[in-house]
Amino acid sequence: MSTLNYINSFAPAKINLGLRILEKRKDGYHELRTLMAPISIGDKIEIELLPKGIEFETTGDFDVPKDSSNLALKAALLFLSHYKLKIGLRIKLTKIIPPGAGLGGGSSDAAAVLTSLKTLLSIEDSMDNLFRLAAQLGSDVPFFLFRKPALCTGRGEILNSVALPLPYPTQGLLIYPGFPVSTPWAYKTYAEFRQKGLISSSLTHEIDQPLNDLEEPVFSKYLWLPTVKNWLQNQFDPALCLMSGSGSSIFALFDKEDPLFMKKVIQHAQAHLGSDCWIRSFTILERF
């Protein structure tokens, strides 16, 4: 919703329906091939114009930084600087997506801020330039400007349209264990594992297989995660069950669209995994 001086927007989480790592690039990043899809769980961004000053407020289920290390605020400052705008803003972030979970919450917040400011301030500029700004903020930010599932390559910033509907069920369960995984650590450990010949998925499976190459290094340290994945697979036989991104969240997709089935899955998961786990059902979005 947008009025003359106020706008609010939905910033969805994403899941990786496979994440394959090809090689390390000269710039230090890894070449990726990943199918990403937005889901129905997300944060809320509200922006109000002020005469001057920048006010940034966070609320919701999770504590996140309130300084410019937060991608939502960083995106706003970059936008104002790029377009040489001397205005004030009040930004309120309602945080629903767990941070450090491999769900792209910070990147989605940044993309929502960029698109909201473009609309609110009636900036006459191409989306190509907005994508360039997004890429400065992080590899996943351009995906959330795309606003639909995409095959992402390069560092993750090169977006390719995919045929819809996706070849997967749209109903799923998402489990966040209550602790984050560092993305730089996950990729660094992956590189060390690969150098030692310890990454079996990259060697034995076709590149388009729905696998997450980061699972082996992450699971080697966070032993609770493979336990959760195995439990989901054994209990409910999902069509697909993977860690999302660099973790720590695990998701499962189910062929059954019966809401009573999903309610049963959630109840079983809560009883088995305990109250420390954040457990939600979701739907894959074809567009948002």
Return the percentage of the chain with pLDDT > 90, whole number.
Answer: 84
Q: Mean pLDDT for the chain?
A: 92
Clarify whether 188 is annotated catalytic: no
Mean pLDDT for the stretch of residues 4-33: 90
Please check if 107 is assigned to a binding site: yes
By C-alpha distance, which of 175, 141, 160 is closest to 269?
A: 175
- Residues forming beta bridges with residue 172, ordered by sequence position: 253, 282
State the pLDDT at residue 276.
Answer: 86
Please check if 122 is assigned to a binding site: no
- Give the right CATH number for 171-283 from 3.40.640.10, 3.55.10.10, 2.60.40.180, 3.30.70.890: 3.30.70.890
Which structure tokens are listed for 133?
């700004």
What are 87-103's pLDDT values in tens digits? 999 999 999 999 999 99
d(CA 47, CA 74): 14
Tell me whether domains 6-161 and 171-283 share a fold.
no
User: Among the listed ranges 105-119, 134-148, 150-164, which one has the minimum average pLDDT value?
Assistant: 150-164
pLDDT at 118 over 90: yes
Which structure tokens are listed for 259?
């809401």
- Give the right CATH number for 6-161 from 3.40.50.150, 3.40.50.620, 3.30.230.10, 3.40.50.720: 3.30.230.10
Please check if 271 is assigned to a binding site: no
State the pLDDT at residue 209.
Answer: 74
Mean pLDDT for the stretch of residues 242-267: 94
Mean pLDDT for the stretch of residues 247-255: 97
Question: Which of 43, 109, 140, 213 is flagged as catalytic?
Answer: 140
What are the boundaries of each domain within the chain?
A: 6-161, 171-283
Please check if 102 is assigned to a binding site: yes
Identify the band that residue 199 occupies on the pLDDT scale cut at 50, 70 and 90: low
Clarify whether 14 is annotated catalytic: yes
Which structure tokens are listed for 57?
């407020």
What are 156-168's pLDDT values in tens digits? 889 999 999 999 9
Helix (H) or strand (E) holding 108: helix 105-120
Identify the band that residue 200 occupies on the pLDDT scale cut at 50, 70 and 90: low
Please check if 18 is assigned to a binding site: no
Helix 71-82 × helix 127-137 angle, to 10°: 130
Q: Which residues 6+ apart lie within 8 Å of 226 measured at CB? A: 215, 219
Please check if 166 is assigned to a binding site: no
d(CA 76, CA 30): 28
User: Among the listed ranges 110-114, 157-161, 200-204, which one has the minimum average pLDDT value?
Assistant: 200-204
Question: Which of 14, 74, 95, 229 is flagged as catalytic?
Answer: 14
